[in-house]
């Protein structure tokens, strides 16, 4: 007779099932694990509280956003990201110290800078390359462990960030939800973004409409950590109304480019 699974083992198995099936039912899980339906409901409640699933009547659905490759993200709603980047770059004032996060929308911020003087920190080699080509900005590239998806991350990146203070942080956000806040796929990336938020006088969140309402695995900060949100006119901001963000919207013209 197979020994009963521990609670943590059941929950891991539920998440694995949701990766392929996208939905599960309480009755079926109770039979699979040979436990009561009340036990399954407690498992699902725990996973929902962690922001990993959405409970439904009689079961649950997948809620975790799947990370994309950098190349895939670069082409995903690329026209919208370009406009968000331009609108965000327009917020920069002459001579400011900036932190530009990794990510495709942040890359468009770097491409759109129009000021003559600025000091710029980044953990993205793509952003660093763009900034270096201007030849007029002071550039600091943060160190750390190379991750093809998240750029430079890890304890060294977090430690280095703690040495600085900047006027504006341009923060990329794979997932943004009113209840679960800013979340990302990786714990290392979450630690870096938290450190970025801590050193900025003003945090400018970059998120097209596809990121709102999404939840990823690792928690970064509450949605209230954002001072200004730059997004597009398809974004449903209704749930975020109580936060009182300064919101800058760009128009979607002709869909993706």
Domain boundaries, the chain: 7-62, 70-250
Tell which CATH architecture fits domain 7-62.
Answer: Orthogonal Bundle (1.10)
| pLDDT tens-place values along the chain, 257 residues long | 457 788 878 888 888 888 777 788 999 999 999 999 999 998 888 888 776 787 877 888 876 555 554 445 444 446 888 999 999 999 999 999 999 999 889 999 999 999 999 999 999 999 999 999 999 999 999 999 988 766 899 999 999 999 999 999 999 998 999 989 999 888 999 999 999 999 999 999 999 988 898 888 889 999 999 999 999 998 889 989 889 899 999 987 644 33
What's the pTM value of the predicted model, to 2 decimals?
Answer: 0.71
Tell which CATH architecture fits domain 70-250.
Answer: 3-Layer(aba) Sandwich (3.40)
The residues, any chain, with a CB within 8 Å of residue 189's CB and separated by 6 or more, are: 147, 150, 153, 218
Among residues 199, 126, 128, 106, the alpha carbon closest in space to that of 159 is found at 199
């Amino acid at each position: 007779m197979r020994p009963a699974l521990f609670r943590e083992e059941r929950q891991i198995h539920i998440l694995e099932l949701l990766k392929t099936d996208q939905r599960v039912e309480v009755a079926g899980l109770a039979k699979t694990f040979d436990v009561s339906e009340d036990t399954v409901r407690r498992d699902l409640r725990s996973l929902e509280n962690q922001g990993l699933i959405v409970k439904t009547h009689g079961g649950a659905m997948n809620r975790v956003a799947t990370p994309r490759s950098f190349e895939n993200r670069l082409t995903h709603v690329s026209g919208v990201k370009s406009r968000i980047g331009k609108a965000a770059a327009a917020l920069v004032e002459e001579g400011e110290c900036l932190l530009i996060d990794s990510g495709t929308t942040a890359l468009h911020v770097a491409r759109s800078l129009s000021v003559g003087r600025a000091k710029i920190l980044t953990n993205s080699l793509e952003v660093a390359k763009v900034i270096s080509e201007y030849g007029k900005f002071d550039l600091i590239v943060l160190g750390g462990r190379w991750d093809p998806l998240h750029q430079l991350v890890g304890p060294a990146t977090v430690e280095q960030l703690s040495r600085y203070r900047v006027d504006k942080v341009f923060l990329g956000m794979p997932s943004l939800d009113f209840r679960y806040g800013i979340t990302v796929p990786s714990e290392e990336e979450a630690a870096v973004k938290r450190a970025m938020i801590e050193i900025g006088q003003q945090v400018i969140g970059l998120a097209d409409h596809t990121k709102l309402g999404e939840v990823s695995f690792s928690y970064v900060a509450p949605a209230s950590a954002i001072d200004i949100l730059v997004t597009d006119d398809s974004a449903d901001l209704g749930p975020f109304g109580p936060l009182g963000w300064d919101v800058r919207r760009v128009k979607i013209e002709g869909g993706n480019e």
